[in-house]
Amino acid sequence: MADTARVLESMTSAIVWRTFGQVRIEEMAAGTTVPVVNALTDLYHPCQILADLAAVADARGGSSALAGLDLAYVGDGANNMAHSYLLGGATAGMHVRIGTPDTYLPDAAIVSRAEEIASETGGSVTVTNSHDEAVTGADIIATDTWVSMGDEEQGDARSEVFVPFQVNARSLEPRRTWRSRTALPAGLPRQGDHGRRHRRRPVARVARSRVSPPRPEGPAHLARGALIPVAQTIPATKAARQALIRRIIETEAVRSQGELALRLEQQGIHVTQATLSRDLVDIGAIKVRGLGGAHVYATSDSLTATEDTDQRLTRLCGELLLAADGSANLAVIRTPSGAAQYLASAIDQHDDAAILGCVGGDDTIMVISREADGGLRLAQRFLERAAGGGHS
């Protein structure tokens, strides 16, 4: 998953994923620096809930009208819709009531989190095994399919359990102003007033509501809307962000990651320290001694523009070489973590006739001498360069 995340972040500004296990999308989010939008998992369906709340807010005159409303959900209390109504409704300051059989209760941890949120927003959370207790006095009644994707083999058994929790004309008839929502795709056969295989008309007609149900494309619009701030706060891709970091380093004296993060924030780009560290390694940025004596970040492009390869190798040895030793035709050089490949590149570009080649890892470089016993002499030469380059 981490490999997939890194590949996707190099090509996209954000990832919108509809998947199964919640852990999958969490692993994706942990492995990438671009935002990850949950389009649906087995545990949550946040875009659908945002669409439902937007529809209710539109009918009630604005999002501020959501607080204090009674929202009832009846049906499968253990599915992603029930979990999302709990968290979304509580966040909006609504009084959320879940009516479900005792064998299909919501996840206890999610109920607890919803209760914590509701205590801060003025809402409340109730889970009951009574359909009537859930819907009585509700301003909004929501439901979902009884047989979710992947549960088809349990269809008959689940339908029998949920019959007492159906939303039907009898339960809605006393209401004159209400709104009903369902995440069920339109036209699917459902258990209801007229038998198991009856293809229902829209709920609004059955219950004679004066308000037609919201249009079903809401979740897709909300998912796209979630990306608007993304486009405004980060460059289009990881490559674009790193190009901006390179430009800042090459045009300004940046002494620390904190200073670099501040400059990025001034342009509306927010990154974590871990992301910034990876970006600096990716572009080959290192600390060098600037004109005033302070250490600043620099890239290979900015350095090679003002010095020849011999000067550059001497300076980098002074900045990066920690230790060197040799044996037979090999010299081994130690550097700070992440700097070995940068110094190895300078050794290769220097084109020393006494060196056959070198290999750089994370903090170690192996230099191969053309002479069978030249390793120790090469190590000594690098140590001399480090002394001449101001290493301390």
> Do 125 and 270 reside in the same domain of the chain?
no
* CA gap 197, 189 in Å, rounded: 6
Residues 112 and 217 in one domain: yes
- Name the domain boundary from 273, 301, 329: 301
Same domain, 169 and 272: no
CATH code of the domain containing 363? 3.30.1360.40
Give the chain's domain count.
4
Its domain, for residue 8, covers 2-42
Q: What CATH number should be reported for the domain holding residue 287?
A: 1.10.10.10
Same domain flag for 364 and 261: no
Chain-centre distance of CA 367, in angstroms? Answer: 42
Structure tokens at 235: 């460059």
Q: Along the 392 residues of the chain, how does pLDDT read in single tens digits? A: 888 888 888 777 788 999 999 999 999 988 887 889 999 999 999 999 998 998 899 888 888 999 999 999 999 999 999 999 999 999 999 999 999 999 999 999 999 999 999 999 999 999 999 999 999 989 999 998 888 777 778 878 888 899 999 887 766 665 544 455 555 443 344 444 444 444 444 444 333 444 445 444 456 556 555 555 555 455 556 777 888 888 888 888 888 888 898 888 887 787 777 788 888 888 888 777 665 667 788 876 655 444 577 887 888 888 889 999 999 999 999 988 777 887 888 898 887 889 999 998 888 999 999 999 999 999 999 999 998 765 43
CATH number at residue 213: 3.40.50.1370
In a domain, 232, yes or no: no
- Final residue of a structural domain among 248, 281, 301: 301
Residues 24 and 74 in one domain: no
Pair (280, 324) in one structural domain: no
Structure tokens at 35: 């935002």
Final residue in a domain of this structure, among 281, 301, 321: 301
**Residues 69, 27 share a domain:** no
Residues 88 and 70: their CA atoms lie apart, in Å, by 13
DSSP element (H, E) containing 143? strand 140-143
Indicate whether 100 and 75 sit together in one domain: yes
In a domain, 213, yes or no: yes
My answer on whether 18 and 53 are in the same domain is: no
Q: Does 227 map to a domain?
A: no
Residues 177, 210, single domain; the answer is yes
Strands 355-360 and 364-369: antiparallel
Residue 281 dihedral angles phi and psi, to the nearest 5°:
-65, -45
Report pTM. Answer: 0.54
Same structural domain for residues 70 and 216? yes
Q: Is 231 part of any domain?
A: no
* 139 in the same domain as 11: no
| 205: in domain | yes
Rounded CA-CA distance 222/186 in Å is 19
Residue 24 lies in a domain: yes
- Contacts of 324 by beta carbon, 8 Å cutoff, 6+ apart: 331, 332, 333, 334, 379, 380, 382, 383, 386
What one-character DSSP code corresponds to residue 237? Answer: S
In DSSP terms, 368 is beta-bridged to 330, 357
Residue 79 belongs to a domain: yes
Q: At what angle do helices 340-350 and 309-320 cross, to 10 degrees?
A: 150
In a domain? residue 67: yes
Closest CA to 147 of 161, 159, 164, 160: 159
